[in-house]
Amino acid sequence: MSAVPFDAEVSPPVVGAPSSAFLDVRDLQVEFSTEDGVVRAVDGVSYTLQRGKTLAVVGESGSGKSVTSNAVMGLLNPKQARITGQALLDGEDLISASSERVRELRGSRMAMIFQDPLSSLHPFHTVGKQLVEAVRIKRDVSKAEARARSLEMLERVGIPNAPARIDDYPHQLSGGMRQRVMIAMALINDPELLIADEPTTALDVTVQAQIIDLMRDLQSEFGTAIVLITHDLGVVADMADDVVVMYGGRVVETGAAHDIYYRSEMPYTWGLMSSVPRMDLGENERLIPIPGTPPSLLAMPPGCVFRPRCAYHTEVEGNRCDLERPDLLAAGPGHAVRCHIDQSRRRELAAELFAESWGVEGDR
């Protein structure tokens, strides 16, 4: 699942083109007005996702990945956020739709799970009550039927002794169990789109793998399309078909998971890759962190947003990186990169950098 063949069908993120994708985000922009000025948290993000596929949105904290999905779900407060662009769910634009219409779609056609399952479940209500509520808001069924459906889902997500657990409060469950409950609640009305916002970040490493396995199982069973928001490239390798790498509210590289893992052409992505622990490297191999911190959204660098932290800006003639904002340009089928460095040079650099780990597979 992790390695998609090169000729896999990936729609290039071209704005304005007609698309058959199930979720088609086009030139999404989100601005918040704060006391310190207008913050553009998301700036022209586009991506597409087919039914039953997984798209990973990767980036550091503050890169705009959560804001993007909250905008798609209609969870941003319209009084605070100004959203432009389009997010087509099966052809229907969620950004221009009424909030009432988006609410109807939430929980039925699209659902979401969050980072911290403890704070995401209501502490005063039993798990069963919260599940039953999720069923009954969308379906006209009796409490008993809704409860039966809840029990079925709890069993499906692997909660042991579900008939007893259903009357537990969230604080009585373990972290992994709580995230299973969240998944059960999200999938209880068979949504076609699931947005998972860092679903494993708050969990133990052993439990992380279980949750990822569970999501993969459920995806193949129900054919759910998944947007997986994460900063954990290990999780991405396990699940994603396509990857969008975000930095400073923009997409800096996008492509099939295989492209990102073995043919990445963007220095920021290289940085992310170099900071992931890997089993296949020598045990004395050091992890290389990306120097510096993400840019303040209030004071974006004028040129390439990644320039202040980029070790390769000397590869570009003059000071283009300081002055000119690079465009997201095609680097191969379904693969696009936002970088001023010449493509041939980028490939050379990447080949040197990852010679050991990419090996033969990385050769074009």
Partner 1 sequence: MGGYIARRVFTMTWMLVLLSMIVFVLFNAVPADPAALTCGKACTPQVVEANRERLGLDKSLAEQYVDWVEGIFFGRTYGSGEASFECEAPCLGYSFLKREEVTDLLVDRLPVTASIALGAVILWLGLGVTSGVLAALRRGQWQDKTITAVAMFFYSFPTFFIGLVLLFFVVIRWGLLPYPSWIPFTEDPWGWFQTMILPWFTIALINAGFYTRLTRSQMLETLGEDYIRTARSKGLPERTVIRKHGLRAGLTPIVTATGIDLAFLLGGAIVAETIFTLPGIGKLFLDSATTLDLPVLAATTLVAGAFVLVANLVVDLLYGVIDPRVRLR
Among 5, 18, 123, 282, binds partner 1 (CB under 8 A): 123
| CA distances in angstroms from 194 to 22, 108, 134, 147, 266, listed in the order given | 12, 10, 15, 22, 28
Among 114, 247, 270, 354, binds partner 1 (CB under 8 A): 114
32 binds partner 1 (CB under 8 A): no
* Residues pairing with 48 in the sheet: 24
CA atoms within 13 A on the CB side of 180: 26
Neighbouring residues of 279: CB distance < 8 A, sequence distance ≥ 6 = none
Whole-angstrom Cα distance, residue 187 to residue 134?
10
DSSP structural state of residue 190 = -
78 binds partner 1 (CB under 8 A): no
Residue in the structure block whose two tokens are 């432009």: 84
| Segment lying near partner 1 (by CB under 8 A), choices 51-59, 122-130, 241-249, 298-306 | 122-130
Residue 50 or 130 having the CB closest to partner 1: 130
Residue 196 or 321 having the CB closest to partner 1: 196
Neighbouring residues of 47: CB distance < 8 A, sequence distance ≥ 6 = 13, 25, 55, 57, 242, 244, 251, 254
Tell me which amino acid residue 348 is.
E
Whole-angstrom Cα distance, residue 232 to residue 272?
9
Whole-angstrom Cα distance, residue 268 to residue 80?
30
What character string, x for contact with partner 1 (CB under 8 A) and - otherwise, covers 58-77? ---------------x-x--
DSSP structural state of residue 106 = B
Whole-angstrom Cα distance, residue 103 to residue 54?
23
| Segment lying near partner 1 (by CB under 8 A), choices 110-118, 141-149, 157-165, 276-284 | 110-118
153 binds partner 1 (CB under 8 A): no
98 binds partner 1 (CB under 8 A): no
Residue 164 or 279 having the CB closest to partner 1: 164
- Nearest distance from C-beta of residue 92 to partner 1, angstroms: 15
Among 35, 164, 171, 360, binds partner 1 (CB under 8 A): 171
Residue 184 or 251 having the CB closest to partner 1: 184
84 binds partner 1 (CB under 8 A): no
Whole-angstrom Cα distance, residue 227 to residue 211?
15
Whole-angstrom Cα distance, residue 73 to residue 75?
5
Q: Characterize the bridge pairing of strands 81-89 and 23-34.
A: antiparallel
Residue 87 or 134 having the CB closest to partner 1: 134
Residue 125 or 278 having the CB closest to partner 1: 125
119 binds partner 1 (CB under 8 A): yes
Whole-angstrom Cα distance, residue 237 to residue 3?
8
* Residues pairing with 99 in the sheet: none
- Nearest distance from C-beta of residue 75 to partner 1, angstroms: 6
Report helix angle 343-353 to 267-274, nearest 10: 10
169 binds partner 1 (CB under 8 A): yes
228 binds partner 1 (CB under 8 A): no
| Segment lying near partner 1 (by CB under 8 A), choices 117-125, 229-237, 275-283, 302-310 | 117-125
- Nearest distance from C-beta of residue 126 to partner 1, angstroms: 8
* Four-residue CA torsion sign, 99, 103, 109, 113: positive
| Segment lying near partner 1 (by CB under 8 A), choices 57-65, 98-106, 284-292, 348-356 | 98-106
41 binds partner 1 (CB under 8 A): no
| Segment lying near partner 1 (by CB under 8 A), choices 119-127, 203-211, 298-306, 346-354 | 119-127
Among 108, 274, 343, 357, binds partner 1 (CB under 8 A): 108
Site residues, partner 1 (CB under 8 A): 73, 75, 103-108, 111-112, 114, 116, 119-124, 133-134, 137-138, 169, 171, 182, 185-186
